[in-house]
Structure 1
Amino acid sequence: MKVLTWLFATCALSVGVVARNALPDLYEASIVELQAGLDAGDFTSVDLVKAYFARIAEVNLKGPQLRAILENNPSALTEAAALDQERKKSGKRSALHGIPVLLKDNIATVASEGMNTTAGSFSLLKSVVPDDAGVVKRLRAAGAIILGKANLSEFAHFRGNLASGWSGRGGQCTNAYFPHADPCGSSSGSGVASSIGLTAVSLGTETDGSITCPSSNNNLAGIKPTVGLTSRAGVIPISEHQDTVGPITRSIADAAVVLSIIAGPDPNDNFTLAQPTPVPDFTKALNKNALKGKRIGVPRRVFLNDTITGNDPFVNQVFEQALDTIRALGATVVDPADLPSADEIAVSGNETTVLDVDFKIQLDAWYASLKSNPSGVRSLADLIAFNDANPALEEPPRFEDQSEHRLIESEATTGMNATYFQALAFNKDLGRTRGIDAALQQFKLDALVLPAPGFTTVPAAIAGYPIVTVPLGFYPDNVTIALAGPETVYPAPGVPFGLSFLGTAFSEFDLVGFAFAYEQKTQTRLARKAFAEAIPTTQLIDIIGK
């Protein structure tokens, strides 16, 4: 009897080990791996949602308290069950069928589903939006499951001098690669959640740096699309001239899948009606030889002007190694290949002028569009008054008056006057005509490449042009730790940083190929994991059948 008991126990242990090894590790699991398991019946989308919820519970408000997630979707399990049945009955709708997707909390979802859309602000808690965001409609049509809402820098970091990743509703989101490290904003929660497998994939938004920087700081692949490739309808705005929605994932392959689904025209966002058609299948850009025979330029004046990172010597050292890799992959590196406008961009205040005007107009329109809003806030002026009246909710640790200055500056604007239109035109001239396009044409380039941290994002932001970011390296263990905010540090040991490929309008297909070739050659993401306490232990084997 004892022998039989031992035998059954040993067999059960062996089966458990095999099953755990056979199932995808949720820390790294790709869309392809998850779909293969779903198709084979190894697990269900219900299992997936339960596993991600369990992983979130381990590290979001407990343990390292990463504060990456604002709320889970209470309808996710019901939606997953329906999609599991549909898979059995008629097959998959798309590569995202039954795959959980986390949304930044400025991307609207209908209130009847049970989630809020607040941009992290209590002024929008329990508000009722008129409809799903355009990108959410595309995700749902593809069979994706909305897992929940991610924390963010409140109002996409447009309140003022607040730490990246802080919102009134969510508190301070922090990086999983070093305790209390800067996650970078404003899509901070989306980045942190994707980095350690709290979700299959996530969406972020960028006005200037808010997909690129969280991807960089969290060892991820991110695509900031051309303005107008993905719909902004139903996204709490900063500026229609710079805002864009894109994927933040663990691999370029996953990002390509997501972008292929969320890109495309939307009658509710007229910027999208000018994009080339049809929408490419970006997964067809995943070519390890994509850099062969290409000309890649290094606009060194951009990061020599960088006052944000101080032109970090260690980042530059690793960047030089990246250029050698790009050469080894068959590309000609043109160095330098400067933007003629680089020095002017560094001192121009035109971006601020445009964003301040746009934010007031478009945020007022957002509040006016709501079916209801219990806070009573119906305008930017009301928002400023609400924040002042609710310091316990809306003032972070060591709050200072300048922490609200962007809202106050924006409220003081008087609309789209001659100064505004002149600034808008100058942005396009600096970013496009005498910026990225000028460098591409002058040096006969296929793309530009730069370290992701810092000033890299500005030319593309004011141009409305795309950036694709991949992991580049990690700060060394002996790096001097510096304060990044009242509760965050940067740089810090082991904190990642990325490499960015930039191009002209709607050049995402080529940029995805270049980033994929670099990613596959280097496999940088796999070189280092998050700190131990920040890595959830729940795996599918812990959920299946329970």
Structure 2
Amino acid sequence: MLLIWVICPCMFLPLITILYSYSHDAHDQIPLIGAETLPQLDLLQTSIREIQELLSDGRLTSVQLVETYLARIERDNYQGLNLKAVIQSAPRQSALEIALQLDEERSKGRIRSELHGIPILVKDNIATDLELGMKTTAGSLALKDSIVRKDAFVIENLRKAGAIVIAKTNLNELAGWKGILRGFRPITSSDDSPKANVTFRGPTNGWSAVGGQCNSAYVEGGFDQGGDPMGSSSGSAVGLSVGWGAAALGTDTLGSVLGPASRAALYAIRPTLGRVSRKGVVPVSLDHDAIGPMGFTTWDVALMLEFMSGEDQEDQSTHDIPPLSNLISIASSPPKLSEFTIGIPTKYFSDEPFFGIPSGCPSESKIKFSETLHYLQTIHGLKLKWNTNINLSSHGDIQRFLEVLTNKINIDFRADMDDYLTNDLKESKVRNMLELAMFNDKYSSEELPPNECCQERILTSLTSSPRNSTEHQQLKSELKVLAEERSLGHIFDTNPEIDAIAFDFELGAPGYWVGAANYPAGVVPLGYCSNGLPYGLMFVTRKYDEQRLGGLRKGHAQKASS
């Protein structure tokens, strides 16, 4: 993941700024206290570090931030731009009370951390205590009135550090494992959007029964005009991209943080499994689920991850994990580019377009991918090693990988969801997956509408073998061979000199391989399709090697000034 710091976010703001300009008003820019000669604060391009400096100097308050973010959400979530990125906003009064308390602590010299008084967005499958005034729905009407027992472990950590949960964001319902997604193909024309293709049944990226269809802010007309935000953490990425928070949280099973961040020109991290506790998350598969941060800058993402991490007695995966240290300092003062070697696979990762990418854009992203790496090699001494390929002999092996992965997760899904519904909720209309399926059938007009049906994943999971079955153990063993020993692990083992592997995120579904094998990965903004939809670059490092996140930021600073 060391290359996550390569690309400067300021290069990717113009289109989103244009889309927002028609409705800019006093709520978009905050006059700084006692600083009439300074420019107003533009939340579309201000990092956590910059906001924290203004808070520390007394030129800005957390109360101002909360007021501004809530006003922006109200204006453009279900009206205005109609982004449908947020399912629930924090009640204004309670959010302001929290912000005021943090402002008062600051005035008395108590600063909890660099996140003190910083509002953030949280995906609505991550538990937030009812005291915050927001439920945890995962986009499902069956969970709309459920009450969690407490904050998720990661939310507890961030709140202790002073972060303010400003809103819960929209998502692919049940993090994308309700039905078989309809978006596994390129968009070929403006008339061939996923919504128009009614003959191919299945839910779409960013849609939930509770939140509706989340729309990319980069494409006029949103989803119906090719603005597929990817999923399942669609709302976190879209909401952050338009300045509704200073950072965002998503969950990632098979690219669900990385993909939406790529489509929103953001930085993001999927940490190694176990780096961050998943306790309190509505699960897909605890063998593969991870929580990751999104941000405007490399430093923001590093800061979030550092406070999110830690051992949790209720999540076995976090035990005996190598410590995460010096991440922020590495992000602040990274080594030179010439100190790193990047592996670049070409076999099986260069010819299959991903979700809803406009026709022609895959070839554009492939060119941009190569040009960027060659520039960093030529100008800054980055070492590249091409053809660092996986050890799979045919596309048949790829199909087998996808089959094994899907069948295994179907088994995990029922076991982990049943446990969540039974044990993690104080109150709920449904207490197991069978009841969830029956609820969806009963309220099919809302949960299974013609353009967003069906619930094949749920129904398949209900008929799958139990987790302690021989079948599950065989699938788990085969997946380890296909996704790790013959794929990402094979690349690192046979190329010990490389520090990271680079992928064009839009080709070959690399997020699936990362999630299947539980490697750390990150995305950076790279470019735009002709319709304005962003795309990104993904980098993968060895397990528990998140410290390399900061590696190439300094090199890009040189690039930006040249």
When the two structures are superposed, what TM-score results if normalisation uses the length of structure 1? 0.86
Amino acid at match of 1:339: I
How far is the alpha carbon of 1:21 from its aligned partner? 4.3
Matches within 5 A, 1:132-171: 132-160=151-179, 161=181, 162-171=203-212
Amino acid at match of 1:502: V
> Residues 276 and 15 from structure 1, CA distance in 2 versus in 1: closer, same or farther, beyond 3 angstroms?
closer
Structure 2: which 5+ runs fail to align?
1-30, 182-202
Q: Which residue of 2 aligns with 1:119?
A: 138
Contact preservation (8 Å) 2:280, 2:424: no
Output one character per residue of 1:189-211: Cα deviation in whole Å (capped at 9) or x when no partner. Answer: 00001111111100001000101
Amino acid at match of 2:108: K
How far is the alpha carbon of 1:395 from its aligned partner? 2.5
How far is the alpha carbon of 1:521 from its aligned partner? 5.5
Is 2:381 aligned against 1:330?
A: yes
Is 2:107 aligned against 1:85?
A: no
Amino acid at match of 2:372: A
Amino acid at match of 2:275: L
Output one character per residue of 1:273-318: Cα deviation in whole Å (capped at 9) or x when no partner. Answer: 1310254433423445442221101111142353536992111111
Q: Which residue of 2 aligns with 1:421?
A: 473
> Residues 271 and 200 from structure 1, CA distance in 2 versus in 1: closer, same or farther, beyond 3 angstroms?
same
Contact preservation (8 Å) 2:127, 2:148: yes
Q: Which moved more, 1:234-243 or 1:427-436?
A: 427-436
How far is the alpha carbon of 1:141 from its aligned partner? 1.2
> Residues 371 and 295 from structure 1, CA distance in 2 versus in 1: closer, same or farther, beyond 3 angstroms?
closer
State how far apart, in whole Å, the 2-side matches of 1:335 and 1:324 are: 11
Q: Which moved more, 1:270-279 or 1:230-239?
A: 270-279
Structure 2 residue matching 1:177: 3-state secondary structure: coil
Is 2:457 aligned against 1:406?
A: yes
State how far apart, in whole Å, the 1-side matches of 2:38 and 2:446 are: 45
Contact preservation (8 Å) 1:264, 1:279: no
Amino acid at match of 1:170: G
Output one character per residue of 1:424-451: Cα deviation in whole Å (capped at 9) or x when no partner. Answer: 1222222222221221232221110011
How far is the alpha carbon of 1:346 from its aligned partner? 4.5
State how far apart, in whole Å, the 1-side matches of 2:333 and 2:106 are: 30
Output one character per residue of 1:36-57: Cα deviation in whole Å (capped at 9) or x when no partner. Answer: 1111111210110001011112
Contact preservation (8 Å) 1:129, 1:371: yes
Amino acid at match of 1:165: G
State how far apart, in whole Å, the 1-side matches of 2:432 and 2:64 are: 42
> Residues 517 and 356 from structure 1, CA distance in 2 versus in 1: closer, same or farther, beyond 3 angstroms?
farther
Q: Which residue of 1 aligns with 2:363?
A: 313
State how far apart, in whole Å, the 1-side matches of 2:288 and 2:557 are: 30
Seq. identity, %? 34
Contact preservation (8 Å) 1:70, 1:149: yes
Q: Relative contact order, CA 8 A, sep 6+: which one is greater?
A: 2
Q: Over aligned residues, Cα RMSD in angstroms?
A: 2.2
Amino acid at match of 1:46: V
Contact preservation (8 Å) 2:117, 2:163: yes
Output one character per residue of 1:77-103: Cα deviation in whole Å (capped at 9) or x when no partner. Answer: 111111111111133111100000110
Is 2:67 aligned against 1:50?
A: yes
Q: Which moved more, 1:334-343 or 1:385-394?
A: 334-343
Contact preservation (8 Å) 2:524, 2:536: yes
The partner residue of 1:385 within 429, 438, 442 is 438
Output one character per residue of 1:399-434: Cα deviation in whole Å (capped at 9) or x when no partner. Answer: 44xx31111111111212112111112222222222
Is 2:413 aligned against 1:359?
A: yes
Structure 2 residue matching 1:209: 3-state secondary structure: coil
Q: Which residue of 2 aligns with 1:461?
A: 515
Matches within 5 A, 1:442-457: 442-443=494-495, 444-454=497-507, 455-457=509-511
State how far apart, in whole Å, the 2-side matches of 1:381 and 1:438 are: 40
How far is the alpha carbon of 1:111 from its aligned partner? 1.5
State how far apart, in whole Å, the 1-side matches of 2:444 and 2:215 are: 22
Q: How many residues are matched?
A: 491
Q: Which residue of 2 aligns with 1:281?
A: 327
State how far apart, in whole Å, the 2-side matches of 1:313 and 1:322 are: 14
State how far apart, in whole Å, the 2-side matches of 1:432 and 1:164 are: 27
> Residues 164 and 523 from structure 1, CA distance in 2 versus in 1: closer, same or farther, beyond 3 angstroms?
farther
State how far apart, in whole Å, the 1-side matches of 2:50 and 2:404 are: 45
How far is the alpha carbon of 1:257 from its aligned partner? 0.8
Q: Which residue of 1 aligns with 2:28?
A: none
Is 2:485 aligned against 1:433?
A: yes
Q: Which residue of 1 aligns with 2:9?
A: none
Q: Which residue of 1 aligns with 2:79?
A: 62
> Residues 522 and 409 from structure 1, CA distance in 2 versus in 1: closer, same or farther, beyond 3 angstroms?
farther
Q: Which residue of 2 aligns with 1:178?
A: 219
How far is the alpha carbon of 1:19 from its aligned partner? 3.5
Amino acid at match of 1:332: K
Amino acid at match of 1:306: E
> Residues 89 and 122 from structure 1, CA distance in 2 versus in 1: closer, same or farther, beyond 3 angstroms?
same
Structure 2 residue matching 1:254: 3-state secondary structure: helix
Output one character per residue of 1:499-529: Cα deviation in whole Å (capped at 9) or x when no partner. Answer: 1111111111113424x356545669xxxxx
The partner residue of 1:209 within 251, 255, 265 is 255
The partner residue of 1:26 within 40, 43, 49 is 43
Q: Which moved more, 1:454-463 or 1:27-36?
A: 454-463
How far is the alpha carbon of 1:59 from its aligned partner? 1.2
State how far apart, in whole Å, the 2-side matches of 1:464 and 1:120 are: 25
> Residues 168 and 522 from structure 1, CA distance in 2 versus in 1: closer, same or farther, beyond 3 angstroms?
farther
Q: Which moved more, 1:302-311 or 1:430-439?
A: 302-311
> Residues 102 and 32 from structure 1, CA distance in 2 versus in 1: closer, same or farther, beyond 3 angstroms?
same
State how far apart, in whole Å, the 2-side matches of 1:459 and 1:213 are: 13
State how far apart, in whole Å, the 2-side matches of 1:511 and 1:338 are: 22
> Residues 15 and 305 from structure 1, CA distance in 2 versus in 1: closer, same or farther, beyond 3 angstroms?
closer
Contact preservation (8 Å) 1:55, 1:198: yes
State how far apart, in whole Å, the 2-side matches of 1:445 and 1:386 are: 50
Amino acid at match of 2:131: S
Structure 2 residue matching 1:506: 3-state secondary structure: coil
Q: Which residue of 2 aligns with 1:479?
A: none
Q: Which residue of 1 aligns with 2:350?
A: 304
Q: Which residue of 2 aligns with 1:529?
A: none
The partner residue of 1:94 within 99, 103, 113 is 113
Amino acid at match of 1:423: L
Structure 2 residue matching 1:22: 3-state secondary structure: coil
Structure 1: which 5+ runs fail to align?
1-13, 477-492, 525-546
Structure 1 residue matching 2:337: 3-state secondary structure: coil
Q: Which residue of 2 aligns with 1:294?
A: 340
State how far apart, in whole Å, the 1-side matches of 2:240 and 2:281 are: 20
Amino acid at match of 1:414: S
Q: Which residue of 1 aligns with 2:21?
A: none
Matches within 5 A, 1:239-278: 239-277=285-323
State how far apart, in whole Å, the 2-side matches of 1:97 and 1:345 are: 46
Amino acid at match of 2:432: S
The partner residue of 2:246 within 185, 200, 216 is 200
When the two structures are superposed, what TM-score results if normalisation uses the length of structure 2? 0.83
Q: Which residue of 2 aligns with 1:188?
A: 234
Q: Which moved more, 1:305-314 or 1:19-28?
A: 305-314
Q: Which residue of 1 aligns with 2:274?
A: 228
Amino acid at match of 1:445: I
How far is the alpha carbon of 1:214 from its aligned partner? 0.5
Amino acid at match of 2:406: T
